[in-house]
């Protein structure tokens, strides 16, 4: 079992996209009000006084869409400056990134993941749930801005959905041949849009590897990061291709992460809602930080028995929060 030293921090549950694999089709979501969100000061307090002393050294900022969070650049600067922060990353849909990439890099962020599910603007907009002016050009501009700012590694996340974007796997993998970009293919999961998953299913990472291997060959590779991707490299390529195989190749035994929601709930597993604790309420009520550390430590100790294999959706039979609200 891996040492748990990696915290994913959701900064906001809202998103300016409505990706079909994240959100239920035709269903309106209720979002947190501003006072319900952890403040920047509360996040810093939890990181420095609760998670830091428990050995957490790696942090990823997520959403919803984290670039919608007011004061994001200042929060990044404060987290990056902490002596216990060994790695700080951010995941974004890239739509607002062109104007923020340079500022985020200057604030101390060095790693970034950007969703790019298609190179075809029409397919991209279909997957993003966009029904207006195409958002693909602005996302592509955000990727270019991140590259120009110096982010390394710059990772592109692709959720592969049968019959929609699975035909683009080779083209997306080909981006790594002459760019220092790292494309990661993610198996479609049964959370967010149950109807689409039931209709489309998922494609195994091994079948995608076979396709890329048959076209170019595929060697073992490596890239900086704290996630579960299996990393390979097309021979002679500058970047890498990674595969996140939570459906076909369960990686619970090497999971090293916890997830903190935007309203302060801490959970040890993405797809298990039966074990989570509220940190915001006791923090705001003045409970001793040592007592909060003890609660988190107890959840850490229980983490090996709380995992994705159980597929526990709590007592309702459905997940209480969509992928976008959890932060992925």
- Answer yes or no: is pLDDT of 197 > 70: no
Q: For residue 314, what pLDDT is reported?
A: 42
Tell me how far apart the alpha carbons of residues 245 and 270 are, in angstroms, rounded to a whole number.
Answer: 14
- Mean pLDDT for all residues in the chain: 89
Q: State yes or no: cis peptide before 316, omega within 30 of 0.
A: no
Instruction: Give the confidence band of 143 by pLDDT, cuts at 50, 70, 90.
Output: very high
Using CA atoms, how far apart are residues 104 and 306, in angstroms rounded to an integer?
34
Q: What percent of the chain has pLDDT over 90?
A: 71
Q: Which helix (H) or strand (E) holds 232?
A: strand 230-233
The domains found in the chain, sorted by start residue, are: 6-326 (3.20.20.70)
**Angstrom distance (rounded) from CA 253 to CA 288:** 32
Strand partners, 259: 8, 267
Mean pLDDT, residues 149-170 taken together: 96
pLDDT band for position 80 (cuts 50, 70, 90): very high
pLDDT of residue 215: 97
Which DSSP state fits 180?
S
- What's the order of all strands across the beta sheet hosting 111-115? 219-220, 230-233, 240-244, 181-187, 154-160, 111-115, 87-92, 58-62, 6-10, 257-260, 265-267, 277-278
Question: Quick one: tokens of 199?
Answer: 């209709």
The C-alpha atoms of residue 223 and residue 176 are separated, in whole angstroms, by 12
Nearest to 21 by CA among 194, 269, 259, 166: 194
């Amino acid at each position: 079992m891996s040492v748990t030293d990696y915290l994913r921090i959701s900064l906001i549950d809202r998103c300016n996209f409505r990706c079909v694999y994240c959100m239920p089709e035709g269903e309106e979501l209720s979002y947190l009000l501003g006072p319900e969100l952890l403040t920047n000061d509360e996040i810093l307090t939890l990181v420095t006084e609760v998670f830091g002393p428990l050995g957490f050294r790696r942090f990823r900022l997520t959403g919803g869409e984290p670039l919608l969070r007011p004061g994001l650049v200042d929060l990044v600067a404060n987290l990056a400056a902490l002596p216990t922060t060994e790695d700080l990353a951010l995941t974004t849909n890239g739509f607002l990134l062109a104007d923020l990439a340079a500022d985020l890099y200057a604030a101390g962020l060095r790693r970034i993941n950007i969703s790019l599910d298609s190179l075809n603007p029409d397919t991209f907009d279909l997957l993003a749930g966009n029904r207006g002016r195409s958002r693909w050009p602005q996302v592509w501009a955000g990727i270019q801005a991140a590259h120009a700012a110096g982010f390394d590694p710059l990772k592109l996340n692709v959720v592969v959905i049968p019959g929609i974007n699975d035909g683009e796997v080779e083209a997306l993998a080909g981006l790594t041949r002459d760019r220092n970009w790292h494309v990661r293919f993610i198996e479609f999961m049964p959370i967010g849009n149950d109807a689409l998953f039931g209709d489309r299913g998922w494609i195994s990472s091994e079948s995608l590897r076979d396709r890329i291997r048959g076209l170019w060959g595929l060697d073992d590779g490596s890239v900086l990061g704290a996630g579960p991707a299996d990393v390979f490299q097309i021979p002679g390529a500058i970047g890498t291709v990674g595969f996140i195989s939570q459906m076909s190749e369960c990686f619970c035994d090497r999971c090293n992460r916890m997830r903190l929601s935007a309203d302060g709930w801490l959970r040890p597993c993405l797809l298990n809602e039966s074990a989570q604790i509220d940190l915001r309420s006791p923090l705001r009520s003045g409970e001793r930080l040592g007592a909060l550390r003890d609660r988190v430590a107890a959840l850490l100790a229980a983490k090996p028995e709380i995992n994705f294999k159980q597929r526990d959706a709590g007592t309702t039979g459905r997940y209480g929060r969509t992928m976008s609200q959890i932060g992925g």
